[in-house]
Amino acid sequence: MHILVIGGAGYIGSHMVKFLGRQGCRVTTLDNLAGGHRDAVLHGDFVQGDIADRAGLDALFRGQHFDAVMHFASFIQVGESVTAPARYYQNNLVNTLNLLDAMRDANIDKFIFSSTAAIFGEPRSDRIDEAHPRQPINPYGRTKLMVEQVLADYDAAYGLKSVCLRYFNAAGADPEGELGERHEPETHLIPLVLRAASGRRPHITVFGRDYDTPDGTCIRDYVHINDLCSAHWLALQSLLSGGGSQAFNLGNGSGFSVQQVIDTARRVTGREIPVQYADRRAGDPARLVADATRAVAQLGWAPRYAALDTLIEHAWRWEQKVLLRG
Ligand code: UFG
């Protein structure tokens, strides 16, 4: 089986490439290295290229057959998507259309798409299942929802089978310590908390403590990167065995506040973590927690690393490795 992983040099993609390698798959990574790292691709072939480049995609598809494509390459910063929407519509939507059309011409009809909780907008229930209204409140979420809608139309018209996986808060690192989160700039809570623990940053800034939550800070559903990989693997099996197009919400169904994340990180690392408090960050809902019942029931998904301690432990091991490497 030969899988093409777009964005395989990035945070989630690189873990997926390693996971697929362990399953004995042949893997090719296509990545433009705008945000990814060549040395994070631990398995298979690597092609430096961009999904905006139709001729490059055609050449890649002429040279070999792919049984399925997994697409991790997108811009992910909500705030930036508000100030620079053109970048987001171009990269996340237009370039994805380019990829889908090249796949269509090459008769590749299986696609796994990295979607997001941001397609739902302001939550209307404690746990968000797939029936929740999809009303994104920022361009990032809209680009992902638009691709989901395109995929439904492409299935109906062209028979392209897809699985959309809507991650809540992807976090953690390779349990074996070989891979981790390497965004620059880093904006995500857990790696920033751990940088404050290791001394790479002076403190963690908490955005808002006046939310309507028990301790006043935002609640999120942190899902381990390897559990996301296992969901992709199960989605792939479903498509390969003739399953139809589907969408799944992926989270553990339990929420942790920013304050709880910091307290857990203090316990796991045994370090001081200086905290500063600031105003709310624009566009942050108070609480985002998944109902992943469908993924459990239909894919047989069984998250292995649901404990926040474990997730932070793995991310901390990675932070220490990065520090040692300098
Ligand atoms: N936070 C802080 N301080 C920081 C960084 C984050 O207090 O320095 C808070 C945020 O306000 C939020 C929580 O920590 O309440 C989590 O923030 P992240 O930036 O780690 O994650 P988000 O929930 O904002 O974003 C996640 C994904 C995005 C995706 C979004 C969709 O990481 O890629 O969900 O809702 F777009």
Per-residue pLDDT of 98-145, as tens digits, reads 999 999 999 999 999 999 999 999 999 999 999 999 999 999 999 999
Residue 284 CB–ligand 1 contact under 6 Å: yes
Nearest Cα to Cα of residue 15 among 219, 170, 202, 158: 170
Q: How many residues does the chain have?
A: 326
CA of 19 relative to ligand 1 center, distance in Å: 25
Spans of the chain, pLDDT less than 70 = none
Cα–Cα dist 7/283, whole Å? 26
CA of 221 to the centre of ligand 1 (A): 10
258 lines ligand 1 (CB under 6 A): yes
pLDDT at 326: 74
The catalytic residue positions are 140
Per-residue CA distances from 116 to 72, 141, 162, 266 (Å): 11, 7, 15, 29
Task: Determine if ligand 1 sits within 6 Å of the CB of residue 118.
Answer: yes
Give the residue whose CA is nearest to atom 10 of ligand 1.
207
Atom of ligand 1 nearest to the CA of 78: 36
β-pair partners for 152:
none
Helix (H, G, I), strand (E, B) or coil at 237: helix
Give residue 282's pLDDT.
86
pLDDT of 132: 98
Superfamily covering domain 189-220+253-290+304-325: UDP-galactose 4-epimerase, domain 1 (3.90.25.10)
CA of 80 to the centre of ligand 1 (A): 13
DSSP letters of 124-157?
A: SSSSB-TTS----SSHHHHHHHHHHHHHHHHHHH
Measured in angstroms, how far is the CA atom of residue 290 from the centroid of ligand 1? 15
Asked: is 2-171+223-250 a CATH 3.40.50.720 domain? The reply is yes
Give burial (CB, 10 Å; 0-12/13-18/19+) of 69: buried
pLDDT digits (tens, 9 = 90+) for 238-261: 999 999 999 999 999 999 999 999
Q: Which parts of the chain are beta strand (E)? A: 2-6, 26-31, 45-48, 68-71, 110-116, 161-167, 169-171, 204-207, 219-220, 222-224, 246-250, 256-257, 275-278, 287-288
Residue from 81, 186, 207 whose mutation best tests the ligand 1 pocket (most atoms within 8 A of CB): 207
Mutate-to-test residue for ligand 1 from 220, 279, 287, highest number of ligand atoms within 8 A of CB = 220
The ranges assigned to domains in the chain are 2-171+223-250, 189-220+253-290+304-325
